[in-house]
Structure 1
Amino acid sequence: MRPPAQNAELALLLEVAGTPKPGNVDRRRDLEELRFEHFLAGAVGARDGLEMAADGASVGAAFERAVGGMAAQGGDNTQFGALLLLVPLVRAARNELSQPVVESVVEGTTVADAAAFYRAFEHVDVFVSDPPAEMEPLDVRRGSDAVPVLEERGLTLFDVLDRSVPGDDVAREWSHGFERSFLAAQRLADASGTPSERTASVFLSLLADRPDTLVVKRHGEVTAREVTDRAAELHERDALETDPDSVKAFADELVGRGVNPGTTADVTAAGLFIALERECLEI
Structure 2
Amino acid sequence: MTRADRAGGDSDPVDDATLALLIEVAGTPKPGNVDRRRDLEGLRFESFLGGAVGAREGLELAANDEASVGDAFERAVAGMADRAGTNTQFGCLLLLVPLLRATVAGGDASAGDLGPDAVDRVTRDTTVADAVAFYRAFERVDVAVADPPADATGLDVRRGSDAAPTLRDRGLTLRDVLALSAAPDDPDRVPDRNAREWVEGFPRTFRAAEWIRTDEGPLTDRAARAFLGLLAAEPDTLVAATHGPETAREASARAAALLDGADGVGSGAAGVGGIGADAVHGADLDAAEGLATAFVDEGINPGTTADLTCAALYVALRRGAEVAP
Question: In which range does the TM-score fall when normalised by the shorter chain?
Answer: over 0.9
1:224 positional shift: 1.0
**What code does the residue aligned with 1:18 have?**
G
1:226 positional shift: 1.2
**What code does the residue aligned with 1:191 have?**
D
**What code does the residue aligned with 2:215 have?**
A
Please give the per-residue CA displacement for 1:19-39, whole angstroms capped at 9, x wherever unaligned.
Answer: 110000000011111000000
**What code does the residue aligned with 1:236 have?**
D
**What code does the residue aligned with 2:98 have?**
P
Farther off after superposition, 238-247 or 136-145: 238-247
With over 3 angstroms needed to count, the CA separation of the structure-2 counterparts of 1:248 and 1:135, relative to structure 1, is: same
With over 3 angstroms needed to count, the CA separation of the structure-2 counterparts of 1:220 and 1:279, relative to structure 1, is: same
- Supply the distance in 2 between the matched residues of 1:187 and 1:275 (Cα, whole angstroms): 9
- Cα RMSD, aligned residues only: 1.5
State the partner residue of 1:215: 239
State the partner residue of 1:128: 145
- Whether 1:90 aligns to 2:114 is no
**What code does the residue aligned with 1:155 have?**
L
**What code does the residue aligned with 2:14 have?**
A
Farther off after superposition, 161-170 or 105-114: 161-170
State the partner residue of 1:176: 200
Give the 5 Å matches for 1:115-194: 115-166=132-183, 167-194=191-218
- Whether 1:65 aligns to 2:65 is no
1:174 positional shift: 0.4
Are the aligned partners of 2:211 and 2:280 in contact in 1 as well (CA < 8 Å)?
no
State the partner residue of 1:80: 90
Identity %, equivalent residues:
58
Q: With structure 1 as the length reference, what TM-score do the two structures score? A: 0.96
Which one has a larger percent helix, Structure 1 or Structure 2?
1
Give the 5 Å matches for 1:20-35: 20-35=29-44
State the partner residue of 2:27: 18
Are the aligned partners of 1:39 and 1:75 in contact in 2 as well (CA < 8 Å)?
no
1:280 positional shift: 2.8
Are the aligned partners of 1:114 and 1:156 in contact in 2 as well (CA < 8 Å)?
yes
1:243 positional shift: 5.4
- Supply the distance in 1 between the matched residues of 2:156 and 2:208 (Cα, whole angstroms): 31
1:244 positional shift: 4.0
1:240 positional shift: 8.7
- Supply the distance in 2 between the matched residues of 1:245 and 1:98 (Cα, whole angstroms): 33
- Whether 1:202 aligns to 2:219 is no
- Supply the distance in 2 between the matched residues of 1:34 and 1:97 (Cα, whole angstroms): 33
Count residues in correspondence: 283
1:239 positional shift: 9.9
State the partner residue of 2:187: none
Please give the per-residue CA displacement for 1:159-184, whole angstroms capped at 9, x wherever unaligned.
Answer: 00011113200000001100000011
Q: With structure 2 as the length reference, what TM-score do the two structures score? A: 0.84
State the partner residue of 1:261: 302
State the partner residue of 1:53: 62
Instruction: List runs of 5+ in structure 2 lacking aligned partners.
Output: 1-9, 107-112, 184-190, 262-278
Helix, strand or coil at the partner of 1:197: helix
- Supply the distance in 2 between the matched residues of 1:213 and 1:122 (Cα, whole angstroms): 21
State the partner residue of 1:278: 319
